A and B are shown apart, each in its own frame.
Chain A
Amino acid sequence: MIKTGEKVLLKGNHALAKAALNAGCKCYFGYPITPQNEIGEYLSVEMPKMGRSFLQAESEVAAINMLLGAAATGTRAMTSSSSLAIALMQEGISYIAADNIPAVVISVMRAGPALGYIFPSQGDYFQTVKGGGNGDYKTLTLAPSTVQEMIDYTYKAFHLAHKYRTIVFLLADGMLGQMMEPAVLYDYPYEDIDNSDWALDGAKGRPGRWIGSIHRTETALEQKTLALFEKYDKIKQNEIEYETMFADDAELLITAFGSVARIAKAAVKRAREAGMKVGLFRPISLWPFPTQELNECAKGKKVVLDIEMNMGQMVEDVKIAVNGESKVEFFGRPAGYYFTPEEIYTQIEKTMEGLK
């Protein structure tokens, strides 16, 4: 048993699973896939002891729909998976989004396309942030970069899911899931959110409630989506999160998220030590993307260098945000070898050289 507040060596996947339990997650539905199996394995042992429900589904398709069912009752529930299997969940994700119900989906990215391999990757930024399901909807997405943040943002994911009755993604990768790092587990810091005005629990003494996505008139359909986007506007106003380092006087601003951001940090520090004016802007909420904040930050910079472990995905949002305030360059590599801090440092040197 880990005592609250104690610093312990934790594996990212285990940290996340422990945080989910602390957050009051009552139901878990999932299907095995590397590199996130430790989440399900851990919960399969712990949840029954706590009188909670762990269920290994017959497929990811079933898992996301079980999550939909539990979410419709207002129960704190989640699933976890990876890349190609998140692809299988997209239909259900679209339904959950349209239904205005709270659900947490953990995506521990691995290399694609298709089967790819179990190596870490950031190739599913689009899949998560832009969504693969049909229709106009958004998925709130949080991207941790340390084991500690696997805890912090799992808590926040549950909180936001229930605060806004929406689907929230925690977007990690195989590196964050598999690595161990000292971290502190603490109590769930958010208050319970009342759901008695919408959750399904049997229509006793009140009219029946319907949770669904079909609307047969043009007006109803339009109103439904407009209401959804009113909610998204609120999320945009309140829930944008990002981090900067040495950004103020930087000539070169690096943008990176998740595990790549932590590697970039080391390179930025070294570049500063070498007298180069380099800074970092790290979006933590990938949707809502810190568009305005990055735009402000990019003003007066000579170049924004976006670094991702993919062939260029977040860079599109970076370009929209920067909106001509600075030049935007991209440095990426597909999943396989992971970036080293040295490699990023070399790229910084090269980019700085080009500015002369």
Chain B
Amino acid sequence: METLVFQKPSRIKKDCKVTFCPGCDHGVAIRIIAELLDELGIADKTIVVSSIGCSVFLNDYYDLDIVEAPHGRALAVATGVKRAKPDKFVFTYQGDGDFASIGLGESMHALSRGEKVTAICINNTNYGMTGGQMAPTTILGQKTTTTINGRDAEVQGYPIKICEMAAVCDGAAFVARCSLDSSKEIENTKKMIKRAFESQINGLGASVVEILSICPTNWRLSPQESHERVRRELYPVYPLGIYKDKANK
């Protein structure tokens, strides 16, 4: 007797070929989002905003309506989509550079306005697509192709903490940081995204889920070592948890 233990989510393209680097966490994030769209029954009314970076190829994977935003402008584009179509479900999928460096202004303002959209921010502490340069989230001491001796607070300043900043925006309804470094954390990440999506569905305001992710290629580590690094080096700087939840005050 055969038992179905795993099914491809309905909105993952049947013929999709994964183009991410081996071991990359993007694929996992993309899958659990697709699962949630099915579970919440909202795929039919979803409009996705993709961004610039490794996340730009979202249309390779999702059989969904997708609009590409210029670098950093995902939440401005999402604002336009949602204002035009308030009955649709709108989320952005963007990297930390997109969200917190070039797009910090758009991010903070969309959150402060309480736009009823969800931002999924993949934080891998570097610019993956362009070859591993310093990102706003690169931690002190981290070596990148533009901080070859490690990020130095005296020179490059300190890393930006997305959830901590997002949580102070009055319009933000749900803010959480999670990780994909183990199956347990993947499960938790899915729960966090679900709560973020629900806060949009319930009209509570803007929601952000920051997902600590790995970039084995640019980190010059194996996927396993990369996940270990997340736990060892990133957890202390970027503690996991819910930073804001208007649904459960």
Contacts and interface: CB of A to CB of B under 8 A. Distances in A.
A329 interface: no
A200 B50 CA distance: 14
B84 A53 contact: yes
Interface stretch (B41-49, B140-148, B199-207, B217-225): B41-49
Interface string B40-81: 000111110110000011010011111111100100111111
Most buried by B among A59, A61, A73, A207: A73
A69 B84 contact: yes
B229 interface: no
A214 B106 CA distance: 22
B17 to A, nearest CB: 12
A59 B105 contact: yes
Nearest to B63: A208
Given A27-B83, A77-B84, A201-B85, A69 B66 contact: no
Contacts of B83: 27, 29, 53, 55, 66, 69-70
B114 to A, nearest CB: 12
Contacts of B59: 208, 210, 212
A99 B69 CA distance: 11
Q: What size tier do the contact residues of chain A reach?
A: 35 or more
Interface in A37-64: 53, 55, 57-59, 61-63
A202 B82 CA distance: 12
A211 interface: yes
B161 interface: no
B195 interface: no
Given A55-B79, A65-B76, A212-B59, A73 B66 contact: no
A213 B50 CA distance: 11
Contacts of B45: 202, 204
B56 to A, nearest CB: 6
B46 A68 contact: no
A65 B73 contact: yes
B70 A70 contact: no
Interface in B146-193: none
A325 B66 CA distance: 50
Contact of A65 (B47, B50, B56, B80): B80
B109 A62 contact: yes
Contacts of A61: 73, 76, 105-106
Contacts of B50: 212
B28 to A, nearest CB: 21
Contacts of A29: 80, 83
Interface string A254-265: 000000000000
B31 interface: no
Contacts of A114: none
Contacts of B47: 72-73, 200-202
Given A91-B70, A201-B88, A62 B63 contact: no
B84 A75 contact: yes
Given A53-B84, A62-B109, A65-B70, A202 B77 contact: no
B231 interface: no
Contact of A68 (B63, B64, B80, B105): B80
Report the 8 A-B pairs with minimum CB-CB distance, sorted nearest first: A69-B80, A212-B68, A66-B80, A65-B76, A75-B84, A70-B84, A65-B73, A69-B77
15 contacts: A62-B109, A68-B70, A68-B76, A69-B67, A69-B78, A72-B47, A72-B67, A73-B85, A200-B66, A202-B44, A202-B65, A208-B62, A211-B67, A211-B68, A213-B68
Given A29-B83, A55-B83, A57-B76, 5 more contacts: A68-B69, A69-B78, A72-B47, A207-B63, A210-B59
Interface of A: 26-27, 29, 53, 55, 57-59, 61-63, 65-73, 75, 77, 91-92, 95, 99, 200-205, 207-214
Interface of B: 11, 43-47, 49-50, 56-57, 59, 62-70, 73, 76-85, 88-89, 105-106, 109
